[in-house]
Amino acid sequence: MNLIIDAGNRSVKLAVFKQRKLIFHQNIKTEHIARQVKEICDHYPEIERSIISSVGSLDRKTIAVLAVFGDVYELSHLSKVPFKNSYLTPETLGLDRIALAASAFYFNPKGNTLVIDAGTCVTYDMVNDYGEYLGGGISPGLHMRYRALHEQTAKLPLLEPEGFKDFIGNSTETCIHTGVVNGITLEIDAVIDQYRSRFTDLTVILTGGDAQFLSKRLKNTIFADSKFLLEGLNYLLEYNKF
């Protein structure tokens, strides 16, 4: 069994895989990670190794503590990957994007795949039918857009994501909702259309914390898979067996 630890900007995702089957997953706060990893390892004593992907929310001391519970592989830009990485600056490529590219490669090994991760940021990652990672794009995520309106203005309130009945808002709150939600969904649809104009038979995967909220609002056909990144990390752990 494999333990997957994905430390993002807002939380830590933990998962247990038995071969390629996900049998457990949860989201926790960073400060609870050591205790929760111990509980998971006690509950699943068959866990032999783990992988950590951290965008910066885990310090070195915490990572060292996790090694007490078993062999730990720390993902980096030096890790072996199953795809050809054509990113111009591979040392700056986010670990989450490396994992998503790996998942796309295994999900659709002979096809064109665009992965859209709707989390803190919205990232676009393209793997073509030659198994080559090309890059993509980064834009502000859903919650970031709401916070920006509140923090960069004097009077606009901070709101939580919410749908709207009409794209023409008739109050400050409804104008914010239609501006943010309509804006991000139109952006995603337009980006998908751009990629489809260049790549034939394009498969689009939507993942991340806001995937479910956004998926029903997109006009394009997509596959929504909230565990796509975790699956990619599991593939990479197997690919980098130690």
209 is in an annotated binding site: no
Confirm whether residue 119 is marked as ligand binding. no
Question: Does 217 belong to an annotated binding site?
Answer: no
CA distance 88 to 83: 15
- Write down the catalytic residue from 59, 71, 96, 189: 96
Q: Around 144, how many Cα atoms within 13 Å sit in the side-chain half-sphere?
A: 14
141 has binding-site annotation: no
Is 207:226 a contact under the CB 8 Å cutoff?
Answer: yes
Task: Answer yes or no: is 114 a known binding residue.
Answer: no
H or E segment and range at residue 124: strand 121-127
- CA terminus-to-terminus distance, the chain: 14
Burial grade of 156 (CB within 10 A; 0-12, 13-18, 19 or more)? middle
> Any binding-site annotation on 239?
no
Give the up-direction half-sphere exposure of residue 139: CA atoms within 13 A in the CB hemisphere: 16
The answer to whether 171 is a known ligand-binding residue is no
Evaluated on CA atoms 142, 31, 70, 27, the torsion sign reads: negative
11 annotated ligand binder = yes
Place of tokens 């998908």: 192
Is residue 9 a known part of a binding site?
A: yes
User: Is residue 96 part of an annotated ligand binding site?
Assistant: yes
Is residue 12 a known part of a binding site?
A: yes
Q: Is 95 annotated as a binding residue?
A: yes
| Angstrom distance (rounded) from CA 110 to CA 139 | 28
**Beta strand 2-7 pairing with 121-127:** unpaired
43: its two tokens: 């509950």
Residue 125 is a catalytic residue: no
Binding-site annotation, residues for K(+): 117
Annotated binding site: 6-13, 87, 94-97, 117, 120, 172
Annotated binding site for ATP: 6-13, 120
Q: Which residues are known binding-site members for substrate?
A: 87, 94-97, 172
Residues identified as active-site: 96
